[in-house]
Amino acid sequence: MHLVVKRKYMIFTHRKIDLGYEDLQAQTSKSGRTYETPTGKAYPSITTVLSILSEDSIRAWRKRVGEEEANKISHRASSRGTKVHSIIEDYLNNVQTNSYMPDIVASLTNIKPILDKRIEEIYGLEVPLYSDYLGVAGRCDCIAKFDGVPSILDFKTSRKKKKREWIHNYFAQGAAYAIMFEERTGMPIPNVVIIMDVDNDDPIVFKEHRDEWTNLLTDTIKKYKMRQK
């Protein structure tokens, strides 16, 4: 069934792919987030696992700016990121977005031409996923056909433009979601797409092939599991 809402802009087509379950229960602690699978297994969040890739740079940044300022910046970024994700989800769900604050609407306006022109049918939003093969779980922003190819889409916000070499963890995370989704549904997802809203600048789109990032992904998962022993 397609949801259709009358409005003056793009209407997105949805084709939900059955996962065999509705959601995954999540628990958050000081050590990170875990998800419980339908069979009762507890898997770490892929975000928690991949955070070890950036821990050195984050530690150095916090030392440079000071803990108090770092906490303020992190809180603002997290709050903004959550709201931008919400407005994008509403927009892709064909829901009106005029209840958001102007700065959040501006973020949607910035990336809307990309969404309108390059996203075709949508297979799921905020999709709960897990992999017995990888031993991890997570929640994917969007799975859709992008530029004609089934893709994992991840939406990011940034105060400044980022270079490809700075965000390898984003690509590894997307590769994890692609593997999880194929394991759950049998549907291959070849591409990983990062759509980044940048303050006072044009948005950036990074498009990668999943297989380019599986080695980094599996190596990092092994490193994380070794730390838990």
pTM: predicted TM-score of the whole model, two decimal places: 0.90
Q: H/E element holding 11?
A: none
Q: What is the pLDDT of residues 118-132, one digit of tens each?
A: 999 999 999 999 999
Q: What is the pLDDT of residue 9?
A: 56
Looking at the chain, how many residues does it have?
A: 229
Q: What is the pLDDT of residues 32-84, one digit of tens each?
A: 899 999 999 999 999 999 999 887 677 777 778 887 876 777 777 778 878 99
CATH number, position 86: 3.90.320
* Closest C-alpha among 130, 153, 126, 161 to residue 208: 153
* Closest C-alpha among 223, 148, 212, 147 to residue 174: 212
148 class by beta-carbon count within 10 Å (0-12 exposed, 13-18 middle, 19+ buried): exposed
Domain membership flag for residue 5: no
Domain membership flag for residue 201: yes
Q: What is the pLDDT of residues 163-222, one digit of tens each?
A: 999 999 999 999 999 999 999 999 999 999 999 999 989 999 999 999 999 999 999 999
Q: What is the DSSP string of 177-201?
A: HHHHHHHHHS----EEEEEEEETTS
Domain membership flag for residue 102: yes
Domain membership flag for residue 18: no
Domain membership flag for residue 13: no
Cβ atoms 216, 205 nearer than 8 A = no
Domain membership flag for residue 27: no
Domain that holds residue 170: 32-227
List Cβ<8 Å contacts ≥24 apart for 24-29.
24/128, 24/129, 24/130, 24/137, 24/139, 26/139
Domain membership flag for residue 199: yes
Q: Would you place residue 4 in the very low, low, confident or very high pLDDT band (cuts 50, 70, 90)? A: very low
Q: How many domains does the chain have?
A: 1
